[in-house]
Amino acid sequence: MHSSIFQLSDRPISEGNILCSGYFYDNSSDFADYIGDEYEGEDRAVKIKWLAEEFPDIFDIDGEVLIYKGLGNFLKEWVEKIQEIANGLTEGNILNDMNLYRMKSITERTHHSLNSRFFIEDWNGYAGDCADFISWLATLGVGTRIYVGAVIDYHF
């Protein structure tokens, strides 16, 4: 399956600091079978719009800049989903591969089940999962402008 790596920052990203796919081959690409090309033009705009629409309560969008509106009910909903899965676990089924996968997935990808990765300037230094992305957002103030650098295809 394909997904995207988003390079994000709460400050404008200079042209010289926009990552390319080669960066991820050399640094922490264990999440991917292969790293594809950078999205450009309309394809890039579509991916950024998709990210904003995936989190409509968290972001507004202004061109290619995300405007942070706060986490709202996101954390509450995430916790509820984790609890729902955890309540279904028993001594008899905890070792079932699917149950272990579901717990790992909900903690890393959140209840949105995003396979997208997030390289966040001055935060993680690698392509982190959705949980890492949400942790970063929690440090930002409402109204923070989030700038998008590279948007890169990857296969997992």
d(CA 122, CA 27): 16
Is 87 within the bounds of a domain? no
User: How many domains does the structure of the chain reveal?
Assistant: 1
What pLDDT, on a 0 to 100 scale, did the predictor assign at position 27?
A: 59
Helix (H) or strand (E) holding 114: none
Is 27 within the bounds of a domain? yes
| Structural domain that includes position 23 | 2-71+114-155
- pLDDT tens, the chain, 156 aa long: 888 999 999 999 999 999 988 888 765 567 788 888 899 999 999 999 999 999 999 999 999 999 999 999 999 999 998 998 889 888 888 888 787 888 888 887 777 767 899 999 888 778 888 989 999 999 999 999 999 999 999 887
> Is residue 144 a contact partner of residue 132, using CB atoms and an 8 Å limit?
no
Q: What are phi and psi of 9, to 5 degrees?
A: -155, 155
Is 85 within the bounds of a domain? no
Residue 16 CB neighbours (<10 A): 5
What pLDDT, on a 0 to 100 scale, did the predictor assign at position 14?
A: 94
